[in-house]
Each structure stands twice: as structure tokens, then as C-alpha cells.
Amino acid sequence: TPGIRPLVAGNWKMNGTGASLNQLLMIGNGFMSGLDAETEALVCVPATLLTRAAEILSRTPVHVGGEDCHAEESGAHTGDISAEMLKDAGASHVIVGHSERRADHGEDDATVHAKAAAAWRAGLVAIICIGETRAEREAGATLDVLSRQIAGSVPVSATPANTVLAYEPVWAIGTGLTPTAADVAEAHAHIRARLVEKLGPAAAKIRILYGGSVKPSNARELLSVANVDGALVGGASLKAADFLGIAESY
């Protein structure tokens, strides 16, 4: 989208130990050499790696984020991690409402809405994920699902500064399958229209990322679609060469 600096964001999911940090260092070094002039970069890592990741990337333009947060600031929630804790560990962003969270942990739109607000409370940018399942697409319900998820998951105080949307068709995540460029264009135009309707004209500048089996070989086609303002990258973000290859396709 004209006037929007694209964001290429990685999501390591439940992958990575200290041995993986050399890949982060290579990503950081890659963005030191001019790539970041075009593209903003972020890698969301497991909470166990956040402090080390933030240290490794501190002298590079690459941001570090969390993959989920609890809606509350603190309290009796064993095993959960608050947005404030992510911020304290060096995160600047957090993914909320990833389809794996929605499926594995039963998170609904109201939960995702509360987590986005929690991210802002802690001073983090919320990356709010939406997207249809294969059954919903086959039923022709894709645009209705996106409308419903935007209505329920995106708080009205979302701005281009505090929020990024990620359109991730569930059936494209980790499968090697991708929608056609025309399907991506239709979904992103729909998301843009719903955001502007809900939030006002400023929402024309909210970044809308595409996610789902993005790799260096398909990034150029997917990322050149109208209203695609970057990518959310799962599997291919674990290898520095692949992640940098995707970023270079801009």
C-alpha cells in the first residue's frame, strides 16, 4: 500500500533453543546491510528465548516479539505470560489470536480482543491474526468469517501505530498451499474495507500482512498484491537464509 513501510515478521512457534540463536544473529546481520531501508523486520520467538533474542538483535534494526500473551497484567495464572512480562523481556510486538492459539486453546474473538488491549496496555504492538478454515472457504464463507473476526477481535482503538492485522488462511499455514493472488487480493481488500468502516479513514494505513506458507520462491508474487503490507512467516523464519530471501523480495 502506498505510504506504508512493509513489515516482514517471523513466528518461530514452539521451535528454538539457545542453539537456534545463531540464525537470529544472521537475520540481524542481514538487515544491517541496507535491507531495512525498505522493510521493517520482526521475529516473534518463544518466551524462553526473548531476553537472549533481544540482546542478540539489540544492535540491529530487527525487532523481537512474543507469540501470545495473557489478557491480565499479573496474577494467579500458572504458566501464562503477560504482555508486561514480554515488554520487560525486550519485546516490542506480540502476536494475538494466531489460529493455533484459537484451535489449541479455544481462544475466541473476545479473548483475542482482550489480548490486543493487553498488548497496548503494556506498550506493545498487537499483531491480530484472522483467517478462514478450509471448511469455511469451501462453504464460500471466507469474507463473512473475516468480517466476524474483525468485528470481534479488533478493538475500536486500533491504530496504524499500535496494530498490525495478519490474514492467515488456516488451511495455508504450514501446508505448502497458498491462495491465488486473486484470492489474496479479495481478502485483503475486504479486510481493508472493514477496518476503515470500523475504525475510520486512518485505518487505511494499518498494515495487513499475508501469512501461510510464504517462502522465498512465492514471496514476490504474494507480497506484490494490493493491500498486502508484508508477511507473517512461520516455518521459513527458522532459517535466516529463507527469512532474508523473503524480505529481499520487496
Q: Known catalytic residues?
A: 98, 168
213 labeled part of a ligand binding site: yes
Residue 249, all three cell numbers? 523480495
Shorter beta-carbon distance to ligand PEP: residue 44 or 62:
44
82 makes contact with ligand PEP (CB under 6 A): no
Shorter beta-carbon distance to ligand PEP: residue 84 or 100:
100
Backbone angles phi, psi at 104, to 5 degrees: -75, -30
CA distance 207 to 153: 16
Of 207-236, binders to ligand PEP (CB under 6 A) are: 211-214, 232-236
Minimum CB separation of residue 209 from ligand PEP in Å reads: 9
CA distance 198 to 205: 14
- How far lies 248's CA from each of 136, 169, 186, in Å? 33, 23, 25
Residue type present at position 25? L
Of 129-168, binders to ligand PEP (CB under 6 A) are: 168
What's the DSSP call for residue 229?
-
234 labeled part of a ligand binding site: yes
10 labeled part of a ligand binding site: no
CA 234 to chain centre: 9
CA distance 99 to 112: 11
Minimum CB separation of residue 175 from ligand PEP in Å reads: 7
Please identify, among the stretches 19-27, 30-38, 73-81, 206-214, the one whose residues bind ligand PEP according to the rule CB under 6 A: 206-214
Minimum CB separation of residue 44 from ligand PEP in Å reads: 9
Residue type present at position 176? G
Of 6-25, binders to ligand PEP (CB under 6 A) are: 11, 13
Minimum CB separation of residue 200 from ligand PEP in Å reads: 28
CA 223 to chain centre: 14
CA 122 to chain centre: 18
Give residues in contact with ligand PEP (CB under 6 A): 11, 13, 168, 173-174, 211-214, 232-236
- Per the annotation, binding residues for substrate are 11-13, 174, 213, 234-235
- Per the annotation, binding residues are 11-13, 174, 213, 234-235
